Structure formats: structure tokens, C-alpha cells
Amino acid sequence: MKIVYNERHAEHAAQKEFFRGQLVDAFEIPARADYVLQALQASDLGPFVPVLDHGRAPLERVHAPAYLRFVEGAYAEWQALGGQGEAFPAVWPIRSLRSDVEPKSFAARMGLYSMDSGSPLTAGTWAAAYWGAQASLTALDLVLAGERSAYCLTRPPGHHAGADFFGGYCFINNAAVAAQAAREAGRQRVAILDVDYHHGNGTQAIFYERPDVLFLSVHGDPQTEYPFFLGHADERGAGAGEGFNANFPLPAGASNEQWFDAFEQALVRLEAYAPELLIVSLGVDTYGGDPISHFKLDEPEFRRMGERLAALQRPTLFLQEGGYATAAIGRNVHAVLAGFESVP
């Protein structure tokens, strides 16, 4: 399986994040990708393919140009205002407040363009996220050119980022950018299967009213788990997209049997859709040892996940999302990809 690695991921290196209202050491750190890189280099997966710059246009097909400009320039603005260290949002235009007028205040725009305080902006955030999207597009090219699968190793992740907001460590929605690019390359039906522990609220929202990109997600129940405000089972799509969104929330602490039951239900929907391309938002924070998540998968289950995905016999693009048990991420990602490769 060809691998595309975002070599610039480490330019986004947050030291701290807000977690339950307290500043704590960041979970989404460069070492995450370093460990995956080591594990894959030591394996017989590969070869590694260099990232090609596809420019800004494919990002602007998913994200609002004003949002992209804000993220690109935000850290310089923050510094010009005397800001030091990481920049966090702290005020949001929720119910009854207006979000249709862009304020002049930097603090106000930070809130306008974000969903939480867990995602600091740093000097290299834009570069890391931009090149992550480019890596995703490069990996997509491989699958569009006939590869059975490809894996994009990148961070920060993408699935919480919406058309005009960042959050949940995510700034550019790599899965959405790839899905949109695949549509424009002529693939009629694209499916995104999100197996990260957290619901991919950004991806869901971007395609909620569209039948051409099916979104399926197995995740921790938003009643207790981040992102809290989306990801319920009754969210089935709207308008032309009605019936093309399916969520499979599971209680925190769900057993592996429960997880695979939900996963199989998602696969039934996937097969019925007969997608020309499958994009897997591959978070491995479903691992039993993950510090911020509460499922129990381990190496054999990750391998089984990969085997099941391969059995679908669809062109498959794997994009890295979460996974915070740093030292185990490489092994867990490798298990999924090696499981996939083991099925002829």
C-alpha cells in the first residue's frame, strides 16, 4: 500500500490545550505521527510517495475562503497584538448572537471561526494543515489512478473541522477535501466511513444535504463524548441528502462485540450504496489504552477492521485522524493497513 506522509506536520506543535476547562499538556502532538512513521518504515508497507501541491482551490471547494484566510493569518495577527504562545478562542456566537457579521476584533473572529477551546493555533498550524490536505489529495490521486488503496499519514486531524470553523484539533477537513476532489474527478458516489472514537461532526455537516457523499460514523455517544452536539442516531441527512448520513453511537466503555456489531451495520449501508471510492477517516483512538477515549479495540481488532474493509473490494483511501496513546498508534495503524493488505 502506497503511503503519503505530510512531512510538515510537526510545524503544528501545541504545548497546551483546554481539557474540561483546565490547561493541560496537549494530546495532539507531533510524536503521534513520528511513531506511525517509524512503525510503517519498519514494515513491508509502502513505498512512500512524495506530496504534490494541488494549490488552494480544492480546499476552497469545501471551506469558506474567508475562513481559510483567517486560519492562514491568525497567528501573525495574534502576535501583532502582542499575543505570546498559543492562541485560544474564548468567546462564541451561540444562539441569539449573530454569526453573519464578521467582527473586527481578533478575539471575536477566533470565536466566530471555531467550536471549542481545545484547539490552539500556533505559528505552524496553517502550514501543517495545508500540507496535510495536500498529502490527502496526493494519496487520493493514487487511488484515482488505479491503486487499490493508499494511506495518508498526517496531523493535525480533520474530521471535526467544518466549512468555516476549526475545533477538536482539526483545521482543514482532509476527508471532505478528498471526497469533493474525487467527485470533481468524476467519481459519482463517494462514501466516508469514520471509525475515529469521536463523531466526525465537520464531515457530516459538510455533506449533510448531499446524496453524492455518504457519511457513516461509529463513535462514542455524544451524550457523554466529544463533540457532544452532533452524532446522534437520528441524524439521517436532510433535503436531497436525506438517507445519506448514518450514525452509530455506542456508549463509552462499549465492548469489542458491540463495536463490531455497529461497524457491520455501517458496512451494510456502505455496500448498499456501492461507492466508487471509500474514504476511511482512520482514528485509532478506539484503542483500549487511549487516554481520552473509552472503547477497547486492540491490535487483533484493528487487523480485523482492515480485513473487513478489504473484503468490500472498493478503492480505499485511508486518512489518519485521531489516536492519542502515542507509543501504540504506530502498531495500531499498522494492524489496520496490514489487515487490509492480507486480503487478496
Positions of E strands within the chain: 2-5, 16-19, 22-25, 48-49, 149-153, 190-194, 213-220, 245-250, 277-282, 316-320
Output 58 or 222, the one with its CB closest to ligand OKP: 222
Q: Closest approach of Cβ 246 to ligand OKP, in Å?
A: 18
Output 139 or 282, the one with its CB closest to ligand OKP: 282
Among residues 9, 12, 160, 294, which one is catalytic? 160
Note whether 5 and 135 are within 8 A (CB): yes
Residue 19 within binding range of ligand OKP, rule CB under 6 A: yes
Q: Closest approach of Cβ 206 to Zn ion, in Å?
A: 17
Residue 169 within binding range of ligand OKP, rule CB under 6 A: yes
Catalytic: 160? Answer: yes
Count of residues that interact with ligand OKP, criterion CB under 6 A: 15
Q: Closest approach of Cβ 141 to ligand OKP, in Å?
A: 25
The CA distance from 52 to 54, in Å, is 6
Residue 168 within binding range of ligand OKP, rule CB under 6 A: yes
Q: Closest approach of Cβ 133 to ligand OKP, in Å?
A: 16
Residue 20 within binding range of ligand OKP, rule CB under 6 A: yes
Report DSSP state, residue 297. B
CB-based contacts of 198: which residues, under 8 Å, 6+ apart?
A: 159, 160, 168, 219, 220, 225, 226, 227, 283, 285, 293, 322
Q: Closest approach of Cβ 211 to ligand OKP, in Å?
A: 25
Residue 162 within binding range of ligand OKP, rule CB under 6 A: no
With CB cut-offs between 5 and 8 Å by kind, which of Zn ion, ligand OKP, none does residue 86 bind? none
Residue 120 within binding range of ligand OKP, rule CB under 6 A: no
Output 116 or 285, the one with its CB closest to Zn ion: 285
Per DSSP, the three-state class of 189 is: coil
Closest CB to ligand OKP belongs to which residue?
322
Please tell me the chain's helix, strand, coil percentages from 3-state DSSP, rounded to the nearest 5: 40, 15, 45
Q: Give the one residue of 70, 169, 171, 197 binding Zn ion; rule: CB under 5 A.
A: 197
Q: Closest approach of Cβ 159 to Zn ion, in Å?
A: 8
For residue 240, the Cα-to-chain-centroid distance in whole angstroms is 24
Output 324 or 340, the one with its CB closest to ligand OKP: 324
Strand order in the sheet with 245-250: 48-49, 2-5, 149-153, 316-320, 277-282, 190-194, 213-220, 245-250
Q: Give the one residue of 8, 183, 198, 334 binding Zn ion; rule: CB under 5 A.
A: 198
Site for ligand OKP, residues 279 to 338, rule: CB under 6 A? 283, 285, 292, 321-322
Point out which residues pair with 278 in neighbouring strands: 191, 316
Burial of 177 (0-12, 13-18, 19+ CB in 10 A): buried
Q: Classify the C-alpha dihedral 139-72-230-120 as positive or negative.
A: positive
Site string for Zn ion, 277-296 (x = CB under 5 A): ------x-x-----------
The CA distance from 71 to 110, in Å, is 9
Residue 118 within binding range of ligand OKP, rule CB under 6 A: yes
Q: What residues are labeled active site?
A: 160
Q: Which residues bind Zn ion (CB under 5 A)?
A: 196-198, 283, 285, 322
